[in-house]
Amino acid sequence: MTKPNLPRVPNQQARHLFLEKHGLCAAPKGSGKGNDLSAVINDLGFVQVDSINTVARAHHMILAARRPAYREKNLRAHLERDRLLFEHWTHDASVIPTEFYPHWQLRFKRDRDRLIGRWRDWRRNGFEEKFEEILKQVSDHGPVTSATVGEDEKRSNGGWWDWHPSKTALEFLWRTGKLSVCHRVGFQKVYDLTERVIPDAHRAHLPDEQDTIDWAARSALDRLGYATSGEIAAFWDLITPQEAKDWCQSALANGLVTEAEIECVGGVYRRVFIYPETLESLEAISTPPSRVRIANAPNACLDFPTGSKSSSPNRNASTAITSSPFWKETD
């Protein structure tokens, strides 16, 4: 049953808000480097790293769509020299502002508990015995790649995920925070000890679990504009759907968020959570430019009139997700 008296947001306003939150409402201008690039990535939250390279890698296209002056070396400087970004997982491998690193401590803990059992079933035996050996190798001799660990182990042609034990150990140590990606060679990850990659101030800050849940939910809703509790959980993929649901109910009771109905394609309405100040500011959102440049994960770079039907990109928060139920053909 539809809850009575919920504010309703017309489809066009919902789409304009979505474009604004994804950096696609304003005209694409700016230096695409330094503080300007940091601001773009911070506003998006993260940029998904993609190995596919048909036209260019998707993370570069995402940034170039918002800053035509952007160049690939600008991202490398943030990642590899200035350490303003780090590489880890949201729903997929991503580059993330290093100031958010403390909240990834919760992911490290949960991945440690979750992956150890799963990978015992999925991977070749023996990877756990490689942890200390790899950490000592990195500590004594510097950064490594999957090709430079376990050199005496049999490599397999069994598929993308058929890793030798030292490769599995290397990935596990990265996923659980002991190692960090310090740079890439081509698209191959190079790993070093986390204390040699992540600045001390960010490693030293250890928020408690509830602080991270609150941060993840608040920051996700801020970047999405409106969302269900499931979409809030999926944004960073840092908290569970139940944790996001509980946060939404608490925030609703405290007046931090409100509920609204967003008009979807065909006039159907969908209930979402939204900040009251966002709801109040809808009329002030700028009309998007007549043409919007969009980059998506399959590396299609589209330039189409606002409101036209696009191809379906993936769910990366830093792409324009025009396949959502809120998107329709006419503007």
Distance CA 179, CA 88 (A): 11
| pLDDT for residue 244 is more than 50 | yes
Please give the share of the chain, as a percent, with pLDDT higher than 70.
Answer: 83
**pLDDT (0 to 100) of residue 177:** 97
| pLDDT for residue 330 is more than 50 | no
| pLDDT for residue 112 is more than 50 | yes
In sequence order, which residues have a C-beta less than 8 Å from that of residue 113 and are 6 or more positions away? none
| pLDDT for residue 42 is more than 80 | yes
Distance CA 47, CA 50 (A): 9
Instruction: Check for a shared fold between 1-26+207-284 and 102-204.
Output: yes
- What is the band of 52 on the pLDDT scale with cuts at 50, 70, 90? confident
- What is the band of 3 on the pLDDT scale with cuts at 50, 70, 90? low
Distance CA 43, CA 48 (A): 14
We find that the CATH architecture of domain 1-26+207-284 is Orthogonal Bundle (1.10)
7-30 pLDDT per residue, tens: 999 999 999 999 999 998 888 889
Least confident window among 105-119, 212-226, 281-295:
281-295
We find that the CATH architecture of domain 102-204 is Orthogonal Bundle (1.10)
- What is the band of 57 on the pLDDT scale with cuts at 50, 70, 90? confident
Contact predicate 106/214, CB 8 Å: no
Joined together, the tokens standing for residue 132 give 């200390």
pLDDT higher at 55 or 139 = 139
Per domain, the residue ranges of the chain are: 1-26+207-284, 102-204
Buried b (16+ CB within 10 A) or exposed e, 53-77: eeeebbbbbbbbbbbeebeeebbeb
| pLDDT for residue 291 is more than 90 | no
**pLDDT (0 to 100) of residue 323:** 36
pLDDT higher at 38 or 53 = 38
Least confident window among 96-100, 223-227, 321-325:
321-325
Residue 54: φ, ψ to 5°: -75, -55
pLDDT higher at 85 or 316 = 85
Contact predicate 95/49, CB 8 Å: yes
- What is the band of 297 on the pLDDT scale with cuts at 50, 70, 90? very low
Least confident window among 45-59, 201-215, 238-252, 317-331:
317-331
